[in-house]
Structure 1
Amino acid sequence: MTGTADAGSHATRVVVHPSAGSVAEATAARLLLTLIDTLSVQARADVVLTGGTVGIATLAAVARSPLATDVDWTSVHVWWGDERFVPAGDADRNEGQAQEALLGALPLPEDNIHRMGASSAFATVEEAAAAYAADIEAAGTPAWDVLMLGMGPDGHVASLFPGHPGYEARDAEAIAVHSSPKPPPMRVSLTLESIRRARRVWVVAAGAAKADVVARSLHGDLELPAAAVRGTLETLWLVDAEAVAKV
């Protein structure tokens, strides 16, 4: 089932699947087809990944799909929307989960994987955020071809939390986040400004616990970071039936 909501220059599309598992499978197929189409008309594709239960399940579904062999992975660059500032190899890190679910199974050059800095490599979270911003600039400040976001039950996306200073950050690609409402307390996150440069923004959410904030976000409650994200070409909410029960 699909629906629409106002998103400024274009309509937000809401695509409803029966279950969290089907959200992951369908999003994986959508991502692979988008990459195939994108690389048929341009030399490179930049994709921003998300963590979370459905996000990692989506990556695992990509790895299983026969369509994965039709993508020229040497032309795909992988980024993250946020990362926990903990040591490399820590189970909390999104990039480690993504490596296990997908990246290790792909013929993806290591230089194409843009990992956010770990506390074992940087003295401060500010240094890690500055290094990621520099990496983005060195890559030509890409207009992300696909930027995937999970959403917390408080309406946060990436590590932009309601009422938190990072939500209001401007004039930066990546920021240091302190005192995160969700542990661990220090993180690196793309800013809303960076997210909204994406051509396609896909918010992936499932479960009854998300129903209130999905409804508030789709009705434009800008207290929630999830309500403020959009792509320049496409904004999709890829959700299960429980997550839209209150829309």
Structure 2
Amino acid sequence: MGKPPNLYAFPGVDELAQSLRVFVLDAQNSALSRHQVFRVALSGGSLPKVLGKALLQETNGGGKVQFDKWEIFYADERAVPLDHEDSNHKLVKEEILDKIPAELGQPKVFPIDVKYLDDVQEMADQYEQTLVSVFASRDSVRLPMFDLLLLGCGPDGHTCSLFPGSPLLRESDAWVLPISDSPKPPPKRITLSLPVATHGIKIGFVATGGGKKDIMKQIFDTDEGRQLPCGLVNSQAQERVSWFVDYPAIEGVSFPARRGSL
């Protein structure tokens, strides 16, 4: 039995962002020492805004962001054009990529292939092929291992585009899965599978606001919540998971949180 996930709580988003920066840069520096590249999978929602705040603020906490060594993938994406308001890539571009100072360099980014907007199975297959080409040939790697996955938590406990009760949660072979009937619009998406989402060297969740307190209590304090997608990541990846939350998001949560810093 491994150790439980880490739950870090902060008075507000500014303090959260400072510690998230330290966490990300620690993952970056470890990855660069291992293989000279930092492979990150990002979700959308409120995460890109907080991550942009963490990475682009003036503070030097945690050292230097070496964006030119980053490779950014998407933990999930919507089957929409890259400039569509529902696109996670558009969010990341606006909140992070477009704001990176020239001297820090630009990451290599792997968006979806928009040729396949009308065929989410083919889009998922193509994105999986992208992962195969980056993470080695399929027969030598059972699962891609990201240096860091940064994920969000929906009010229903979903993460990536893995929703509660979905049969996709039982998928054990595919790396990338198609969704044509997402309970949350837009309906057509692709997502990393649960085995890939739990296989990262480090996994970070960001959840803020009082609107998250009920689902956070479920995930951390109840057996039912441990079966929700976020709870499954917690139980399968254990101490490799770190949550960054503000105080309102864990009001009433019994699970012990470390308050104020990493």
- Equivalent of 1:133, from 128, 137, 144? 128
* Structure 1 residue 121 displacement after superposition: 4.5
Specify the alignment match of 1:146 in structure 2.
148
* Structure 1 residue 122 displacement after superposition: 4.0
* Stretches of structure 1 lacking an aligned partner (at least 5 in a row): 1-7
Which of 129-138 and 25-34 deviates more?
A: 25-34
Instruction: Please say if residues 73 and 110 of structure 2, whose CA atoms lie closer than 8 Å, have aligned partners that are also in contact.
Output: yes
Specify the alignment match of 1:85 in structure 2.
79
- Equivalent of 2:241, from 235, 239, 247? 235
Cα separation, partners in 2 of 1:163 and 1:38, compared to 1, 3 Å: same
* Structure 1 residue 23 displacement after superposition: 2.3
Query: Aligned-residue CA RMSD in angstroms?
Result: 2.2
The number of equivalent residue pairs is: 237
Which of 8-17 and 25-34 deviates more?
A: 25-34
User: So what's the TM-score if we normalise by structure 1?
Assistant: 0.87
Instruction: Please say if residues 146 and 202 of structure 1, whose CA atoms lie closer than 8 Å, have aligned partners that are also in contact.
Output: yes
Q: Equivalent residue of 1:14, what SS?
A: strand
Alignment of 1:118-197 (within 5 A): 118=114, 120-140=115-135, 142-197=144-199
Instruction: Please say if residues 46 and 142 of structure 1, whose CA atoms lie closer than 8 Å, have aligned partners that are also in contact.
Output: no
Instruction: Please say if residues 54 and 206 of structure 1, whose CA atoms lie closer than 8 Å, have aligned partners that are also in contact.
Output: no
Identity rate, percent:
28
Rounded Cα–Cα distance in structure 2 between residues aligned with 1:63 and 1:97 = 15
CA deviations over 1:99-149 (Å, ceiling 9, x no partner): 11112325125xx2111333x544301111111111111112531111111
Instruction: Please say if residues 43 and 152 of structure 2, whose CA atoms lie closer than 8 Å, have aligned partners that are also in contact.
Output: yes
Rounded Cα–Cα distance in structure 1 between residues aligned with 2:2 and 2:159 = 21
Which of 68-77 and 11-20 deviates more?
A: 68-77
* Stretches of structure 2 lacking an aligned partner (at least 5 in a row): 136-142, 254-262
Q: Equivalent residue of 1:242, what SS?
A: helix
Instruction: Please say if residues 199 and 232 of structure 1, whose CA atoms lie closer than 8 Å, have aligned partners that are also in contact.
Output: no
Instruction: Please say if residues 85 and 117 of structure 1, whose CA atoms lie closer than 8 Å, have aligned partners that are also in contact.
Output: no
Rounded Cα–Cα distance in structure 2 between residues aligned with 1:149 and 1:228 = 13
Instruction: Please say if residues 28 and 59 of structure 1, whose CA atoms lie closer than 8 Å, have aligned partners that are also in contact.
Output: no
Q: Which runs of 4+ in 1 moved over 6 A?
A: none
Higher relative contact order (CA 8 A, sep 6+): 2
Instruction: Please say if residues 24 and 55 of structure 1, whose CA atoms lie closer than 8 Å, have aligned partners that are also in contact.
Output: no
Specify the alignment match of 1:18 in structure 2.
11
Rounded Cα–Cα distance in structure 2 between residues aligned with 1:159 and 1:31 = 22
